[in-house]
Structure 1
Amino acid sequence: METVVTTATIAAAAVSPSPTPFTTQHLAGEQILSKLHAIASSAAYWGEKLPGSAVVKRYIVSSHQNDPVRTIFELLFFLFAVRYFVASRYSTSNPHHVKFTEADIDELVAEWEPEPLVPKTTVLEELDIGSIPLIHGESGPVVDVESARVGHVKRATNLASTDFLGWARDPVIKERAVQIIREYGVGSCGPPGFYGNQDIHVKCERDLARFCNSESAILYAQAFNTMSSVIPSFMKRGDIVIADDRVATSTQKGLQVSRVTLRWYKHNDMEDLARVLAKTNHEFRKAPLTKRFIVTEGLFENTGDLCNLPEIIKLKYQFKYRLLLDESLSFGLVGSTGRGVLEHFQENGHPELSRQQIELTAGSMAIAFSSAGGFVAGSDAAVEHQRIGSNAVTFSASMPGYLAAASSQAIERLEEDNSRVVKLRENTTHFRTFLEKQLQAARVLGSVVEFVSSPQSPHILIKLSDDFRPETLTSFVAAEELLQQIVDLCLAEGVLITRHKRVPTHEIIALESMLRIEVSASLSTQQLDESASIIAGVVKSISSA
């Protein structure tokens, strides 16, 4: 039977459309969205019934409006947390792991050698440890000392102590310390920002500020941590520091921790400092403006000479830098009243200099006053910043109160009478002159040893001459051993001196081997003369051996 397709049939088919795949997918999508909307509505309804849901909703809405990026990160963090908690736990029972027999385990255990908890001591470390002198009783100008390399010496003139002014044996200061111990105890047991600061600490800070002619001062519990903490509190990554290449280890550590852009200039070379400042400013002329500091010392621990403070201040203003001056060794020793290298230059042709031209001045009370701790003097703003921005202040317990009181007492004594500083200067000049004469008479000055420190420094450093090169002097350790022999022979003759010790692995720039002699105001002229003669005789005997 034939099917007859008429025009009407075709028209009817065109008018009544049949379902297409697109229409089916569209309807399915609408059904899914409808179900999702119903689920979301139900969740919102029941969510509003939960306690605190309004607070959470308000937080999400306000957070998204203020910072949409934060909402995305919080969502990703939420998904990560869900994924972490629903993930399967790590298991050590992996069937693919190699299984050992008891014999295999015993063999591996027998072959295993544990790493030492600490590395083996080096030859230099063994030399340092074996040469530490043991003092019996109270330290002073004459000590009862014992050495593993020399033996027991009942009376030795002490030229190894940094008690330059002799405050350690002062009866007035000792009595003041005993009084504070009875009233306050022996420790503060807390950081200064919490409950560690007592009225005696505040008084000591005021005394230091007055003595330094600065607006304010802040105490540090440890002298070594002063520079290593004040530097990173003011200088961060991106800041620029120009430093003398002979600064002490504590300053080097502070520069490393701060991660600043560091440039060195040759020790006390003002032409090189000007060159480095100009080059650095040109190099960073298009960089964002950051803090820029010159870092140096008043009396250098590693060289025993004074910085050229007038020229440094001139260059600081010329190139627009700030100045951090470490007077740990010069404070209390240099200047007619012990106010440091600034006072020294004020008295020697530069009265225009002032403490306000130095942004930060660091110092030590462990050297000048035979106490402990350090300080930083500067403007009120600079000091207050350190109270919450310096790690050694924020996280370390404040120094014991009796040490702060002893320092205050020493400052008051210095302000009333500077005779100890004058005596120290006289002893330094006399001993240095007499020692030079003795070394020249022994024909060893210049050919065997030579002075590194400046004539006015009570911190005397002597190194082996470049012309003195015996066959045994083949390394740094050999030079240290030779100097230690000089120290031992001097001790055997009744004079206690030492080597300029440091940890080479912690020094950024290598230093030379040197003898270290500390002159004290407590020593008599006779003691100084006898000591100088013994040192010169020992050096001569070593050179001819």
Structure 2
Amino acid sequence: MKGFEHLEEEIREWQENGVFRPLTELESDQESTVKIGGRKLIQLSSNNYLGLTTHPRLKEAALEAINVYGAGTGSVRTIAGTFSMHEAFEKKLADFKHTEAALVFQSGFTANVGVLGTILTDEDVVISDALNHASIIDGIRLTKAGRRIYQHADMDDLKKALEETQTARRRLVVTDGVFSMDGDVAPLPDIVELCEQYDAIVMVDDAHASGVMGKNGRGTVDHFGLHGRVHIQVGTLSKAIGVLGGYVAGPQVLRDYLIHRARPFLFSTSHPPAVTAACSEAIDVLLEEPELIDRLWENTRFFKDGLTRLGFNTGKSGTPITPVIVGNDALAMKLSDELIEEGVYAQGIVFPTVPRNQARVRTIVTAAHSKKELEQALEAFGRAGQKLGII
């Protein structure tokens, strides 16, 4: 159709550079292995950290909710779409996170956008880590607040930013708890100490720490023992929790304000009963089956050690997210393609998702992987890496 020539030209450039990829269609459920193109592959690209997407308790809870409440809710939360189960789940989530209140959004992305785009004005300043998630970046773009980006995990630069912005009504410092592309953990105790020193609000996006770090998967705030010192916790219900959605946990006044002013919350239909019931059951699983998290970390250590022994550059990851950094965009995609031939699905990640010359294949092991599957995956990485001259 005429009028889209500029888009066609850009796509042709992606194709020539070897970075254009169609969507991958899974023909099975999201387990440690998946069926793609009729083949069974070891899955190393999902966020299903604990295997909860197919946990029998979650499936049973979802089916029961459909039978009782139906397939959908038929309204936004502020009109007629708040069921008693929504309120009960948010109370359970707040108790789990050791906060006064919690509020569920349609996704982790809308949770970040909803908070940052709502509570800040042109009298405020938001200070953000350079490697924060795209949803944080977009949330900042929606506010008229001043902004300052500090170098990744650089506390000297954060201190400088706090010193330079003391005339603002309020400063909000926002960071990922676990950074999604590198797998490193934010120096949260240092961030909190600086913010207390300079009277700034702390906001942590624990998307990749929820269900993974802290006691029973409570996140980085619990991991570092910082309850009561972090003002806003954002997380996701679609990664380790295994279902769908995002949440904000913090003081009751924040929940009340967001209900009345956060546009993603105000103008989106509430989660269907099956989603809410499954998310609620997932919290119970975290509390009652902590061995899942233990298994996740055991598998993580095994796989990281194996990649290191093979000679791959895995960066500074300290979590189940383990990047295999190769640098060149096309080479990262070739490595991904070779791994598929070897029976492993691990997606290549290139610019603009990661900085230029930092292209990688990002891997995430789960509690559902067997040692045999991880051994097979390591053998595949070894063969593919040698073939491409990476190791």
TM-score interval w.r.t. the shorter chain?
Answer: over 0.9
AA partner of residue 460 (structure 1): T
Structure-2 residue corresponding to 1:538: 384
AA partner of residue 515 (structure 1): V
Q: Are positions 1:317 and 2:196 aligned together?
A: yes
Structure (1 or 2) with the larger CA radius of gyration:
1
Question: Could you say which structure has the greater relative contact order, defined with CA pairs below 8 angstroms and 6 or more residues apart?
Answer: 2
Q: Are positions 1:139 and 2:52 aligned together?
A: no
d(CA) in 1 for partners of 2:111 and 2:352?
19
d(CA) in 2 for partners of 1:412 and 1:168?
14
Q: Are positions 1:518 and 2:364 aligned together?
A: yes
1:303 corresponds to which of 170, 182, 190: 182
d(CA) in 2 for partners of 1:544 and 1:311?
36
What's the offset of the Cα at 1:322? 0.6
Structure-1 residue corresponding to 2:263: 391
- Whether the aligned pair in 2 keeps the contact of 1:243 and 1:264 (CA below 8 Å) is yes
Structure-1 residue corresponding to 2:169: 290
- Whether the aligned pair in 2 keeps the contact of 1:435 and 1:533 (CA below 8 Å) is no
What's the offset of the Cα at 1:480? 2.1
Alignment of 1:258-407 (within 5 A): 258-281=143-166, 284=167, 289-346=168-225, 353-354=226-227, 356-407=228-279
d(CA) in 2 for partners of 1:118 and 1:202?
47
Q: How many residues were matched structurally?
A: 388
d(CA) in 1 for partners of 2:27 and 2:239?
21
What's the offset of the Cα at 1:114? 4.9
SS in 2 for 1:122: helix
> CA 1:242/1:157 → structure 2, altered by over 3 Å: closer, same or farther?
same
- Whether the aligned pair in 1 keeps the contact of 2:130 and 2:150 (CA below 8 Å) is yes
d(CA) in 1 for partners of 2:351 and 2:144?
23
Structure-1 residue corresponding to 2:128: 243
> What is the percentage of aligned positions where both structures have the same residue?
24
SS in 1 for 2:178: coil
What's the offset of the Cα at 1:136? 1.1
d(CA) in 2 for partners of 1:510 and 1:200?
45
What's the offset of the Cα at 1:155? 1.7
What's the offset of the Cα at 1:280? 2.6
d(CA) in 2 for partners of 1:265 and 1:114?
43
Structure-2 residue corresponding to 1:436: 308
SS in 2 for 1:368: coil
What's the offset of the Cα at 1:510? 6.3
Structure-2 residue corresponding to 1:496: 345
What's the offset of the Cα at 1:464? 2.0
Structure-1 residue corresponding to 2:57: 172
SS in 2 for 1:337: helix
TM-score w.r.t. length of structure 1: 0.68
d(CA) in 2 for partners of 1:537 and 1:515?
15
Q: Are positions 1:119 and 2:7 aligned together?
A: yes
Q: Residue by residue, what CA displacement relative to the aligned partner does 1:470-499 show, whole Å, maximum 9, x if unpaired? A: xxxxxxxxx222111111111111111012
- Whether the aligned pair in 2 keeps the contact of 1:336 and 1:422 (CA below 8 Å) is no
1:130 corresponds to which of 21, 29, 35: 21
What's the offset of the Cα at 1:269? 1.1
What's the offset of the Cα at 1:342? 1.7
d(CA) in 1 for partners of 2:357 and 2:83?
41
Structure-1 residue corresponding to 2:314: 451
1:463 corresponds to which of 319, 325, 329: 325
AA partner of residue 528 (structure 1): L
SS in 1 for 2:126: strand
What's the offset of the Cα at 1:190? 1.4
Tell me which moved more, 116-125 or 332-341. Answer: 116-125
Listed as ranges, the gaps of 5+ residues in structure 2 are none
SS in 1 for 2:389: helix
Q: Are positions 1:162 and 2:25 aligned together?
A: no
SS in 1 for 2:362: strand
Which is helix-richer, 1 or 2? 1
TM-score w.r.t. length of structure 2: 0.94
d(CA) in 2 for partners of 1:180 and 1:502?
42
1:420 corresponds to which of 292, 297, 300: 292
SS in 2 for 1:409: helix
- Whether the aligned pair in 1 keeps the contact of 2:326 and 2:390 (CA below 8 Å) is no
Q: RMSD over aligned Cα, in angstroms?
A: 2.1
